[in-house]
Structure 1
């Protein structure tokens, strides 16, 4: 075509469009009110519920080249009696006419557009529907001028909700663009529908299906208005990656009667999983398949407020490969036959899901199985599984949220059966049937976010009802080892269900437990080798978390334990855990050259407020070793090199920690009744300050055969009541000591040192001579552990003088009263020294 021809085509087209616009404008001007009145009158004949319209008008532009009646902000009330709730809401609703028909004064509505709206379909518990808004046509004569002859319906951005209270079902979707072409021939309507929608959920009996899926629809229907039935000649629905073919018949002359067939198209594992609720789909939703996977089903029978149709779905695979896309590890040669039916009564109680003749290979190791899931309302589960698993390969095929790596071999031959509810409570133990056993052979497991490796795990586990009998289960956790014999109760509920408690009743034996590792918070670095020596640390960070879903009652026998500098041996006792509270009626061990026994409670219910209440008894613990093991109790004033002796004590304590085992010292309280035998204070620098009164050589090794006192700890302070220290010094055989020592290393000690002079009359075994009576010197030691000062205790000196004067005065009164003369050789009353301050 030459340029002149093209120019003419364009000119004629523009002229035609202009002519249509002129004609349309003329019609709008002359016929607008008439067309709207005819439309309203015809609509009122067919509607029996209230309709509200914000604005109504006639437009040539909105649906050009057709003329359109435009309704804005439309609300159609639902058909429930006295209800004002909307059935349909739409921002825009269009009904279009052919412009040529309008010129001939024949107004035929051929298309309807519903845009930016919402449709809410409801069924009450008795089966009554809310969409019965159309009234029967009672007119005697047909309106020759105006009629609804729809040939096309378009839904754009329309939200659809379906709520059926009787069946406990709820559907929600939003159409993007769905079109239905209509062809009316006598009593038959042919419908060709296609479009896209976003399916938010299909909820049936509380389970959500097809959640958050993209839906593509393409189907052909034949509506027989005389027979009141819909025939689906061909239909295809794509839900996410899954595609399904649908065909069959729907009769609606009375209760809806279904006879439908459906099948998967190009079926894979995703096609099957798309049918499952998310609680099942999430477990397997990432998996992919290769090979022959099939899926088909039927729906037959009446569906109404009182009846459900018979549903039968068959699915399975033959020689398929099933794999996780991340690891690419596979289950090979997988075969199974599956079926779902809602049973003879077509409800949840008679529903049944079966997986039969399960066969396959995991890393060339065969396995077989069977699963039956009956009664969706009160589920009954039956499982059989037999095979040998390579742990490393199994964890790659089925990644576990709690396990990062593993190795070794597990042999399984088990059968489980019982109501799912029975797995959840101790009352249901008798209703659970389980048998078979599991064997570990040199298994290693790495728990995520825990530094130590479980390795060399071997043992036999025998199922009995809902419990597991453990025989000879031994292995290592880091450098620690264990042998466990006993029962794991409610193990099935703990494994398969959430928020279930596991109860362990067992005997635990160990050669060595390393609590530096067991309580460590250090995490395994990604890519590190899977070896038991991977976690070695110089300054470990600790973490104590007690699971609310673990209870135990364990008799322990441990040869050696280690925690920081602490070393213990021959540990024996009972440990119990219930509701995050660990208790021990008796736990004894040998440590630091003596015996150590404890009974008490550790309450870990509050993560950062762990309370430890104990009664501890120690016998013959070496003092220097005790200070070394407990790292001098966090101070450097009196350390292990200064001390010798054997400690026997009873300690009542309330201690508090956060989950990192950092002590909350402001809340700590304790009462310590202590006795030290054959004690020595060696080269203790503050004692050298007494050199003006006691020989240095004696102060360098101050010995005391016995010392007893009761100490208190409260408000971050150690309180030391006055005690008498009987020492080996020649001039001060009994030294009085009292004071306080804070956790911030602030010292406030008070000393009373009796000064004795040598005489020829009294000599001890070392040659020292003591007077029967003599003066005392009162001293204080104040400051910090690195900056302290020894001085005369002026307050105690004054108090002592006042006390002596009072005593002398009382004695004098008694002498006068009795008429006696005071002895001439009475010692004069003590007087304060002119030099009250001693700078040592």
Structure 2
């Protein structure tokens, strides 16, 4: 190296050092002035209060440009919203053009912010706390923006809108905007990486801890407020979206966009669905791919949405219910959606062209269309063959156990919906066909087996459901059912006309012990498992019932036939007939509410040729052992009128029982009845151990827990006896007897008539003896009472049957025409 070259290099270094010294001296002297200028100029851009902790010049950060570093910058919310911090910045860098810095005509080319927190808020009245920028005419010419890059690092954004019920929280590692951002027309490239912590709309969770990444290339024309999207991709938790089109904004925003996505992972798509309770989806596993193409076109404002059209497709997907380990596969779905814009929802339409779902041998096919998203009108056709294990999953049927068999259904619906979840049954045409084959299940303690038959709506009237020879086994009872249900949809929606049943039911042998628990069943808590008696509203019921054999404890009835009708909270029974106790029984009656959680039964029964011994045996001797089937025999005929109330536990109110029985007993026999054998303590007559009579007639009254037996005669070859009296439900007795004894009787036992004070001669020359039996059935006393006995007989004879019958309101026997429903075609 020559001396001249060395000398030149040294001179250059000295000049550079001198220039640098001058530059740094300038910076040091100007730094305090620049902080004041920066603080002054920011007031031209920000209308709210703010503060800057420190600000100094950093010459080497972006050399050869000048960098300004401001720390601890706080911008407060607009004064009408309060005085809380809106934006908090740890570090803020401004990159200035080198020559503009020295000319003091500062031009900011780059803005970089690190560690920023934003707290944005909109109140219920729509007032924001982030309206903090001044209008453009307030800006000064000695401090201007010519940005070509904006970088935000480590940004935390919290946003809450009480007006729209929306909240958003997000953390973003880096947001970068590149382009001639202050030009009238420029190309902007942006990148974003971060995480959406939470995003809620109307308490519906849209996103939660969702990674997000975006890349965009947008052509901006500020003079026309036009934004053309050349390229925009967004990745939300491995779900990719592609957006293109343009936006134009003046007073209102106009959109013309296309949003497409192919091969979206179904599991990831489900995660971002706006479902209120997403935790329920954790019990499902999703596999498959979703793709859709959509267009968004039109104006957007507070009252108007753009028209949105979406074509969607789901191919060969699978869903597994984890806790039940049930897999649905080969799921194929395609369709389209259009909202027609918020202002014209009546043209909105959702169409599912096809939907297929498979589970082993189960298949489901669905077609659906819905018009008018405010009051949707839907058209749906669904066909399926369901396997037993799937039925428990439909409609919350977890109470149904041990399901087996086969169920095919075909449903067609044309009707209006009150909401997206509720079908208006009164304005809908619903066609149903259910086919059951060997269908069985267990509900509560009841087994229903081998249900076979069809149920379908009538061809000319969809309001009528026809039951076609439905057969099965209820517990151990075979049954067959057929009939119609008019207005059956009222069972699902009570606002319509009453549902009217017209059913014919045939059953085999039915045992009622399981369903009617007696008081002696050992259940100390009788209320357990019972519910209050409920008479349903808006239901009419007419049923012809035939049961081959009916059994309850010892009671057995055969060939049971009856017609049941339910109308106006009253159950009426007519044309009831059955065979029991080797005789026949027929009658009619009614059951109705009587207040205070009680219901009442009124009825009239006619019996013929029934054996008394069998009656007592089958009725378990009426739960007493005073006089039983061992003591009695004979054939009875009669008429019985009764009224009885029950409480909600189906326990009878004994005090309410009123019964009037006209009874005729033929070929009767009383054997070994101790009170009769002891009737005359002075004599043990063998013939009293087996008393036979040809005919006995009387009217028995039961009222207020007292059985009243009016005066009656019992004719016997050995003697004649008359009696009357009362017998309470607590087994207190008060009987009076009149017995005619012949002289032969006394001669045989060497007795003289004068020994009996309560005696008299009868009109036919015999002797009448009067005896009173009082006490209880287990401890009674006998004494001779001629005067009191005659008075009791006289009172008893004065009671007329017609007077007794007026004390009970007899249920009216309805004729055949009154029991029919009128089936109208609608």
**1:151-190 alignment, distance < 5 Å:** 152=152, 158=158, 160-161=160-161, 163=163, 170-175=164-169, 177=171, 181=175, 183=177, 186-187=181-182, 190=190
Matched, 1:319 2:316: yes
Residue 771 of structure 1 and its aligned partner are, at CA, apart by 2.9
Q: Which residue of 2 aligns with 1:564?
A: 553
Q: 1:89–1:119: 8 Å Cα contact kept in structure 2?
A: no
**1:52-451 alignment, distance < 5 Å:** 67-68=71-72, 77=80, 94-97=88-91, 110=113, 114=117, 119-120=121-122, 136-139=135-138, 141=140, 152=152, 158=158, 160-161=160-161, 163=163, 170-175=164-169, 177=171, 181=175, 183=177, 186-187=181-182, 190=190, 192=192, 194-202=194-202, 210=205, 215-220=210-215, 224=220, 226=222, 228=225, 233-238=232-237, 243=239, 245=241, 247-248=243-244, 249-258=246-255, 259-263=257-261, 266-268=264-266, 271=269, 275=273, 287-343=284-340, 347-359=344-356, 361-364=358-361, 368-386=365-383, 388-392=385-389, 400-412=397-409, 415-420=412-417, 427-428=426-427, 432=429, 434=431, 437-441=433-437, 443-451=438-446
Alignment deviations for residues 252-311 of structure 1 (CA, whole Å, 9 cap, x no partner): 3331233251436642267369647669x9999855444444344333321113422121
**1:786-801 alignment, distance < 5 Å:** 788-791=778-781
Q: Which residue of 2 aligns with 1:829?
A: none
CA distance change for structure 1 residues 288 and 689 in 2, over 3 Å: closer, same or farther? same
CA distance change for structure 1 residues 450 and 38 in 2, over 3 Å: closer, same or farther? farther
Give distance in 1, aligned partners of 2:217 and 2:240.
19
Alignment deviations for residues 586-612 of structure 1 (CA, whole Å, 9 cap, x no partner): 433232333334444445899x94524
Residue 734 of structure 1 and its aligned partner are, at CA, apart by 1.3
Give distance in 2, aligned partners of 1:605 and 1:201.
52
Q: Which residue of 1 aligns with 2:18?
A: none
Q: State the SS of the aligned residue for 2:622.
A: helix
Give distance in 2, aligned partners of 1:358 and 1:468.
27
Matched, 1:759 2:747: no
Matched, 1:650 2:654: no
CA distance change for structure 1 residues 112 and 388 in 2, over 3 Å: closer, same or farther? closer
CA distance change for structure 1 residues 158 and 140 in 2, over 3 Å: closer, same or farther? closer
Alignment deviations for residues 48-100 of structure 1 (CA, whole Å, 9 cap, x no partner): xxx9x9xx99799xxxx98436699x7965xxxxxxxx6x8969863445599
Q: State the SS of the aligned residue for 1:382.
A: strand
CA distance change for structure 1 residues 410 and 775 in 2, over 3 Å: closer, same or farther? closer
Structure 1 stretch displaced more, 282-291 or 693-702: 282-291
CA distance change for structure 1 residues 330 and 624 in 2, over 3 Å: closer, same or farther? same
Q: Which residue of 2 aligns with 1:535?
A: none
Q: State the SS of the aligned residue for 2:265.
A: coil
Residue 446 of structure 1 and its aligned partner are, at CA, apart by 0.8
Give distance in 1, aligned partners of 2:709 and 2:790.
19
**Which of 715, 720, 745 lines up with 2:707 in the alignment?**
720
Residue 341 of structure 1 and its aligned partner are, at CA, apart by 1.5
CA distance change for structure 1 residues 475 and 90 in 2, over 3 Å: closer, same or farther? farther
Give distance in 2, aligned partners of 1:92 and 1:797.
112
Q: State the SS of the aligned residue for 1:672.
A: strand
CA distance change for structure 1 residues 322 and 640 in 2, over 3 Å: closer, same or farther? same
TM-score for the superposition, normalised by structure 1: 0.67
Alignment deviations for residues 91-148 of structure 1 (CA, whole Å, 9 cap, x no partner): 98634455999xx999999468558x77336588xxx999767653552537969999
Give distance in 1, aligned partners of 2:209 and 2:783.
88
CA distance change for structure 1 residues 352 and 76 in 2, over 3 Å: closer, same or farther? farther
Structure 2: gaps of 5 or more residues:
1-31, 56-68, 96-101, 183-187, 519-525, 754-759, 794-826
Residue 312 of structure 1 and its aligned partner are, at CA, apart by 1.9
Give distance in 2, aligned partners of 1:604 and 1:39.
87
Residue 402 of structure 1 and its aligned partner are, at CA, apart by 5.0
Q: Which residue of 2 aligns with 1:780?
A: 774
CA distance change for structure 1 residues 706 and 352 in 2, over 3 Å: closer, same or farther? same
CA distance change for structure 1 residues 613 and 293 in 2, over 3 Å: closer, same or farther? same
Larger radius of gyration: 2
Q: State the SS of the aligned residue for 2:315.
A: strand
Give distance in 2, aligned partners of 1:605 and 1:175.
62
Matched, 1:711 2:701: yes
Give distance in 1, aligned partners of 2:270 and 2:706.
73
CA distance change for structure 1 residues 507 and 160 in 2, over 3 Å: closer, same or farther? same
Q: State the SS of the aligned residue for 2:545.
A: strand
Q: 2:306–2:340: 8 Å Cα contact kept in structure 1?
A: no
Q: 2:392–2:398: 8 Å Cα contact kept in structure 1?
A: no
Give distance in 1, aligned partners of 2:490 and 2:280.
18
Residue 220 of structure 1 and its aligned partner are, at CA, apart by 4.7
Q: Which residue of 1 aligns with 2:508?
A: 511
Give distance in 1, aligned partners of 2:44 and 2:696.
111
CA distance change for structure 1 residues 411 and 789 in 2, over 3 Å: closer, same or farther? closer
Residue 626 of structure 1 and its aligned partner are, at CA, apart by 2.9
Residue 361 of structure 1 and its aligned partner are, at CA, apart by 4.6
Give distance in 1, aligned partners of 2:563 and 2:425.
24
CA distance change for structure 1 residues 738 and 310 in 2, over 3 Å: closer, same or farther? same
Alignment deviations for residues 399-442 of structure 1 (CA, whole Å, 9 cap, x no partner): 844533433334445543333469967753xx51637x44333x
Q: State the SS of the aligned residue for 1:641.
A: coil
**Which of 698, 720, 728 lines up with 1:740 in the alignment?**
728
Residue 354 of structure 1 and its aligned partner are, at CA, apart by 1.8
CA distance change for structure 1 residues 38 and 687 in 2, over 3 Å: closer, same or farther? farther
Alignment deviations for residues 502-556 of structure 1 (CA, whole Å, 9 cap, x no partner): 64323223333444456799xxxxxxxxxxxxxxxxx9x9868879587532222
Alignment deviations for residues 689-715 of structure 1 (CA, whole Å, 9 cap, x no partner): 43405645444345563242343344x
Q: 2:415–2:425: 8 Å Cα contact kept in structure 1?
A: no
Give distance in 2, aligned partners of 1:774 and 1:212.
103
Structure with a larger share of its residues in strand: 2
Q: State the SS of the aligned residue for 1:349.
A: helix
Alignment deviations for residues 190-240 of structure 1 (CA, whole Å, 9 cap, x no partner): 46363233344458xxxxx657965444435678582646658232334xx
Structure 1: gaps of 5 or more residues:
1-30, 78-85, 164-169, 204-208, 522-538, 805-840
Q: 2:386–2:407: 8 Å Cα contact kept in structure 1?
A: yes
Q: State the SS of the aligned residue for 1:640.
A: coil
Q: State the SS of the aligned residue for 2:640.
A: strand
Give distance in 2, aligned partners of 1:59 and 1:498.
72
Q: 1:152–1:180: 8 Å Cα contact kept in structure 2?
A: yes
Give distance in 2, aligned partners of 1:316 and 1:496.
35
Q: 2:508–2:549: 8 Å Cα contact kept in structure 1?
A: yes
**Which of 474, 477, 485 lines up with 1:480 in the alignment?**
477
Give distance in 1, aligned partners of 2:699 and 2:685.
26
Alignment deviations for residues 169-204 of structure 1 (CA, whole Å, 9 cap, x no partner): x5433526466736475336946363233344458x
CA distance change for structure 1 residues 612 and 710 in 2, over 3 Å: closer, same or farther? same
CA distance change for structure 1 residues 569 and 95 in 2, over 3 Å: closer, same or farther? same
Q: 1:228–1:251: 8 Å Cα contact kept in structure 2?
A: yes
